Amino acid sequence: MTSEYVIAAPVVAGVAARAAAGTAGVVRLEPGLRGLAAALVRAARDRWTGLAAAPAEGVRVRTADGKLTVEVDVVVSGIDQAAAVGQAVQRSVRREVAAQTGRTVDAVQVSIVDIEMEAR
């Protein structure tokens, strides 16, 4: 069962990235931190099987204790309330991953790293 997680993670990440980017109010995903995954995997004491499946897209997929978590970093526009857009991203990621891969995402962690207001 563990091997199933490892193979599917990049697919989940790809679906999640597309779902997040396509959510109304999201300007773009933020490219992730290269090497962070390596640093996480290296720490033996870490119980997470860290797998930065799509770090270049700003998405990280983690599995731990049978739970599947998706982390996504986004930039949103100032038109809609940031909190509302964030919640919309959570919902759309969960929905699309279930619809396209059959996998259940237990948690979607959204980080809004920047907000772009329209130019004055």
Partner 1 sequence: MAVNEDYALPCGRDVDTIWDRLDRDTDEHDQDCPHCRTAREGLLALRSATRELIDEPDPTPPDLLGRIMSAVRAEVRRGQMLDLASAEPGGVAVSTQAIAVVLRYAADSAGGVRARRVRVRQVGVDAAGAAQVAAELTLTVRLGNSAGAETLARVRELVSAAATARVGITLVSLNLLVEDVYEDGE
Q: Which of 6, 24, 38, 98 touches partner 1 (CB under 8 A)?
A: 38
Tell me which H or E stretch contains 72. strand 67-77
Place of tokens 């970093």: 73
Does position 31 bind partner 1 by CB under 8 A?
Answer: no
* CB contact set of 86 (below 8 Å; sequence gap of 6+): 74, 76, 110, 112
Q: Using CB under 8 A, which residues numbered 61 to 120 contact partner 1?
A: 69-70, 76, 78, 81-84, 86-87, 89-91, 94, 106-117, 120
CB 109 to partner 1: min, Å: 4
- Helices H / strands E in the chain, number of each: 3, 5
Give residues in contact with partner 1 (CB under 8 A): 33-36, 38-39, 42, 69-70, 76, 78, 81-84, 86-87, 89-91, 94, 106-117, 120
